[in-house]
Structure 1
Amino acid sequence: MEQQQEGGSLGISAVSNMSTPDSMIPFPTELIETIIDLVDDEQTLQATSLVCKSWVARSRFNLFRVVELCLPTHLDRFSSLLASSPHIAPHIKEIAISENSLLALLRPTMAIVARLPHSLLRHPHVKPRRLSVHHQLWLPTRYHPEYLAGLSQLSSISSLDLYDVTFATVADFSIILRALRCLRSLSAIHLDAQRQLPPEELAAIGTDLPLLTHLRVMSQYPTSVIDWLLRYSRFPALYDAEVSYEISGIDPSQGLGTFWTATGSTMENLSLTISKRASGSSLPDQAIEELFDMSQCKALRALRVDCRHEREVTPDWAWLVWSLSHLPRPSALHTVTFAFQHSSHALATLHQFTADLDRVLAESPSLAFLHHVAFEFDYRNPSEIDQDEAALLAKFPALQERAVLRIE
């Protein structure tokens, strides 16, 4: 019998030998595995791993697929478990770090993120595909001199998810991206820097992400870290992007406009959420032209505009009308989706701009290939009693005549 380890927030345990014969299980293996996949409780997964031999692999997969590290002792216990039970290594697909502690600030070299590369390299059979870092002060230049060299050896990591992560400067973010050179997916949500760099230094530390195909960014103003990423990074293979961005009038440092030029030749799918810093005020024409000129997005095929955050009584959608009317000619765009909370929300939000949207979407020469305009609601009432849904459709007669308008 193998030694049982305490799981805690690590989500890790060892498995003992089984005594129940597989022939006693009357269900197909596929059904059993589906049921085990639905279990999200560690103790239950430990129990399923003890039932019989055929349940072990799937139980281990779900127990060890994501390793969560929240305290420095978690990393030590994880390393000890790998040393005693190396057979779990192939099941580990994601390392999730969430260390919101004073230790990361007072003793940076003892932080989990500082010690992780060395710990993983001691166990070469562990090849995680995803690294998630939450609520972390990440200071790579204050760690061991060999830290970045160790990080660069974790070549199996193809996805990096950052949530509420703070760097000393954008330069720290840049060298982390350079070290993780095999990234194919990047999520950068609410990143910050303790100190700002002058524009000439920001340009000098720009980086290439040659394999990146999926990008998700979310930032509220000021957006310095995200602006650097959008303005000074190159994404020659980017296919799918989700951008949530807050705008503050005319700000030459904001990088959204540059991003369209850098990704225009490859990006096919875009989900866009735009908010304004000053509620109720219209964006200046200069800001719209600088930030929403998507005429270089010649590969764009699907555009989703997420409006669920919008709660202003008279929101400003002039940027959207302008952007749609300035797509490349001809545009490859064939699907436009508007996401709202419900039909009443859509009707009230688009009230002053429905005529302009209907005209641009139905009549613009750039949108000759458009064959699907959809309203996507979080929830719907039955169509026969939803008067706002019918009223919303009535606001788009030209699209209805082209038979491309639908509600999902």
Structure 2
Amino acid sequence: MSKRQFIPIEIFELVIDFIEDEKALQSTSLVCKAWLPRSRFNLFRVVELNFPGQLDSLLHLLESAPDIAPIIKEISISENSILALFRPAMSIAGRFPLSLSSYPLVQPRRLTVHNQLWLPTRYSPDYLLELSRFSSITSLDLFDVSFTTVADFSIILRALGRLESLHANHVDCQRQLDSDTSASIGCELPFLTFLRVSSDYPTSAVDWLIAHNKFPSLRDIEISYEIALDDQNQGLGALWASTGSTLENLKLGIFKRAAGHPISRGVMEKQLNLSSCTALRTLRFDCRGVREVSSDWTWLIWLITQLPAGAKGYPLRSIVLAFQHSSHALASLHRFTAELDRTLSEPSWAGTLAEVVFELDYRLPADEDEDELALLEAFAGLRSRNLLRIA
């Protein structure tokens, strides 16, 4: 007698998880009842809203199939609509908090906003209250988002007071407030542990974020920042002072607005002094964007000399320098290798340092890359202490 072979449902669910095409997922949801929950999970876990009509369609769907509500874990808005400018209250960003509040089982954990003019002060007077009902949102990602002023930005942060992760990529404001007003509307994000910022000059919106808001639990920062050599209002230095006792992991990319001009000692002391970061364990410098013919790394060496020994139990363990490839690193550091080698080998924290890593995007086989060998030979001090490696 033949025996029927049964494939566990977990195998089918694993296959469904790898399906990215929306129409294919719609088809798998119709195969049988056993496939429906996993298909719906992959269809509605991330809800993308690009046109006002898509929000209306979502509301109709929730009305007819309320069991979809708890599946929604991320809402992504990328409208770029004329409504956002001339009829802001009718835009997706203006409508979604009140519209979805009728479905309390919709509790997304992430909100992502792309290419949006976000104007909470021009929406409903209760917009802050409506948005704050989404206390489940712990991650906010902003990509090319503009506000009228930082007061709008402040409304968003105050409403989403339980954020654990914040990503601000090229956030901008149309108008500037005076310094006293800007400082007074800052808030505290007590649960935020991860901050990622990318900002080209003018950096005023990001400067307000990092200088006038408090992050008492911040542990990880990734920041790409363009320093202007003549702007006294940039806020990078205030970030280190306010997060120094909790910051453990830092990825730092610094770009100079005036290419070819060195960063002055005054700017370095104000913006790049990490001496308060006593909990720092890992430090990564992203040098991949450096294109100058004769790069100046005086600021990098100065920054390293200011690093603290670290509080007990929190020693600095790893320093990473990221370049495109070995030739890029060798040419860029050309005049500074001996000084950088000495700076990394002799400070008080060098005794607890476990590694200095050159992280390369592209590597040739070891026996073919003469520049990689020359790069290793240039750091004799680190090699003698067995700290240097290339990844």
AA paired with 2:300?
Answer: L
Does residue 349 (structure 1) correspond to residue 329 (structure 2)? The answer is: no
Contact 2:107 2:136 in 1 (8 A): yes
How far did 1:239 drift? 0.9
AA paired with 2:86?
Answer: L
Q: Which runs of structure 2 are paired with 1:323-362 in the superposition (5 Å)?
A: 323-330=303-310, 332-362=315-345
- Partner residue of 1:138 out of 118, 124, 129: 118
Q: Which residue of 2 aligns with 1:20?
A: none
**What secondary structure does 1:119 align onto?**
helix
CA displacement, residues 100-123 of structure 1 (integer Å, 9 cap, x when unaligned): 111110101001000010111010
Q: Which residue of 2 aligns with 1:374?
A: 357
Q: Which runs of structure 2 are paired with 1:49-128 in the superposition (5 Å)?
A: 49-128=29-108
Segments of structure 2 that go 5 or more residues without pairing to the other structure are none
Does residue 404 (structure 1) correspond to residue 363 (structure 2)? The answer is: no
Aligned partners of 1:349 and 1:26: how far apart in 2?
61
Does residue 290 (structure 1) correspond to residue 270 (structure 2)? The answer is: yes
How far did 1:65 drift? 0.9
**What secondary structure does 2:321 align onto?**
strand
Q: Mark the CA change 1:330 to 1:118 in structure 2 (over 3 Å): closer, same or farther.
A: closer
- Partner residue of 1:365 out of 322, 328, 348: 348
Q: Tell me which moved more, 28-37 or 283-292.
A: 28-37
Aligned partners of 1:27 and 1:303: how far apart in 2?
48
Aligned partners of 1:181 and 1:148: how far apart in 2?
11
Q: Which residue of 1 aligns with 2:127?
A: 147
Q: Which runs of structure 2 are paired with 1:181-330 in the superposition (5 Å)?
A: 181-330=161-310
How far did 1:330 drift? 4.2
Q: Tell me which moved more, 44-53 or 260-269.
A: 44-53
Q: Mark the CA change 1:252 to 1:46 in structure 2 (over 3 Å): closer, same or farther.
A: same
Q: Tell me which moved more, 333-342 or 26-35.
A: 26-35
How far did 1:159 drift? 0.6
Contact 1:188 1:216 in 2 (8 A): yes
* Equivalent pairs, count: 386
Segments of structure 1 that go 5 or more residues without pairing to the other structure are 1-22
Aligned partners of 1:146 and 1:230: how far apart in 2?
27
AA paired with 2:233?
Answer: S
Q: Mark the CA change 1:198 to 1:78 in structure 2 (over 3 Å): closer, same or farther.
A: same
Aligned partners of 1:54 and 1:406: how far apart in 2?
51
> TM-score, normalised on structure 1?
0.92
Q: Which residue of 1 aligns with 2:139?
A: 159
AA paired with 2:387?
Answer: V
Q: Tell me which moved more, 257-266 or 336-345.
A: 336-345
CA displacement, residues 76-121 of structure 1 (integer Å, 9 cap, x when unaligned): 0011101111111121110000011111101010010000101110
Aligned partners of 2:232 and 2:388: how far apart in 1?
37
Q: Mark the CA change 1:24 to 1:107 in structure 2 (over 3 Å): closer, same or farther.
A: farther
AA paired with 1:349?
Answer: S
Aligned partners of 1:255 and 1:292: how far apart in 2?
10
> TM-score, normalised on structure 2?
0.96
